[in-house]
Amino acid sequence: MSDLTHVLDAEIYVLSCCHADDGADIVAVGGEHSVHIFQITETAIVPLAVFHLGTRVTALGWSAGSVSPSVSDEWRIDLVAGSADFGLFHLSKLAGRDECVYNFGAGSTGHNGGVNSIAFVGGYLSDSTRYVATCGGDKTVLVWDLYPERVDDGHASSQMPEASMPPEDRTAPTAYEISYAHPLTTVCSHPNTSKELLVADTHGTIFMVDWRSDGPDEPHPDRRTVFELVQPYAMGDALIGNGDTTWTSVAWRRDTTDIIGSVTGNKYHIWDLTKLHGGKPLVTGPTFSQGGRFRWCNTHPEFFAISSSSPTTGAILHVHNLGYLTQQPTQLAIAAKPHYVRDFDFLATRGIPRIAAAVGRSLVIMPIGSTEK
């Protein structure tokens, strides 16, 4: 299986693979003014849709309602994008119909800082296309109800046409806010829970939040927080004045809600929620001097990968096997410096794991090798 490359006409800033079972071979990339959707086959990168936003894209989040053309002739695209100018956009497309861009969250109802991360938070049920969490530099998580007047019938697929309604016919999404002390870098959810989400801040702290625990009139995150995961050295940096400078990327392992991974600075961390010791990680290991993103492999959950966010190292990924953490990671070199990996993710397709990476203006698809260590 060889590498695949597709070059766009502008820089790619963010990338997200669809993890829904019916959309496992779909990838979204966000650039200077648009979101591009591709289907990834074994031999080609096939364009599916282009959503023109007119602003730089900073975050992408897929809903479970997306379906690939490889699964059905009635395929559909459903995701939310965030932008550098604080905007939010619900993006949808049904087979045979035009792209639909619905701008929401403007003014006092949305973020007043850049949007850093997006995750649909409804689990596997019909709510998985309805509720979406966003976080950003304004120190807030907003949990949005995209369809506040919906009457659910329990089938997520049947509700996709709502997303493609003309904007003037849609009821504006509603949201409630959860505030934090520091800017937020990541929000993520897990398909096996419809009420918890993970939130990471620039001080290296990760919060597990029960977003359904109270109504929208309860603004205090400590009353929603189930527990906190801490990285002692990152907290030390904050205490001596080095805080609010660290990007924390956190990810939940797909096959269990008990395993969480993150990268902050030059270290990665693994937590096992069945073996918590004051919230400290079970495993800590070294990584790039400027670690970027942390991603689990959905189809082979023993694998995780970390990117470097520094142009001085080149576009490089380290792939680790959770069962062999004492061994050196497998290094995937994509491009020489000054290129670097802006974003990446594992495809959810079966077989040999493949990674989609954004490097400059290029979308690169590459296998990580054999599934055996």
Q: Distance (Å, rounded) from C-alpha 349 to C-alpha 84?
A: 31
Average pLDDT over residues 346-368: 96
- Is 358:15 a contact under the CB 8 Å cutoff? yes
Q: 81-95, 204-218, 243-257, 331-345 — which is least confidently predicted?
A: 204-218
- Is 198:206 a contact under the CB 8 Å cutoff? yes
Q: Distance (Å, rounded) from C-alpha 348 to C-alpha 299?
A: 6
pLDDT in tens, 296-347: 999 999 999 999 888 888 999 999 999 999 999 999 999 999 999 999 999 9
- Outline where DSSP puts E strands in 86-215: 88-94, 100-104, 115-120, 131-136, 140-145, 174-179, 184-188, 196-201, 206-210
User: Buried b vs exposed e over 293-304: b needs ≥16 C-beta within 10 Å?
Assistant: bbbbbbbbeebb
To 5 degrees, how large is the angle CA 136–CA 123–CA 210? 60
- Helix, strand or coil for residue 17? strand
Q: Tokens representing 131? A: 């509720």
* Helix spans in the chain (H): 160-163, 232-237
Q: Which residues contact 184 (CB under 8 A, 6 or more apart)?
A: 116, 117, 135, 136, 137, 139, 140, 141, 199, 200, 201, 202
Q: Is the pLDDT of residue 259 over 70?
A: yes
Which residue type, as a one-letter code, is found at position 100? C
pLDDT tier, 373 (very low <50, low <70, confident <90, very high otherwise):
very low
Of 18, 35, 29, whose CA–CA distance to 70 is shortest? 18
Domain ranges of the chain: 4-148+170-367
pLDDT tier, 372 (very low <50, low <70, confident <90, very high otherwise):
very low
Q: Tokens representing 223? A: 């009353």
Mean pLDDT taken over the chain: 88
- Helix, strand or coil for residue 369? coil
Q: Distance (Å, rounded) from C-alpha 212 to C-alpha 208?
A: 12
- Is 274:300 a contact under the CB 8 Å cutoff? no
Q: How far is CA 205 from the centre of its chain?
A: 18
**Measured distance between the N- and C-terminal CA atoms of the chain, rounded to whole angstroms:** 18
Count the Cβ atoms, other than its own, within 10 Å of residue 350: 11
Domain at 4-148+170-367: CATH architecture:
7 Propeller (2.130)
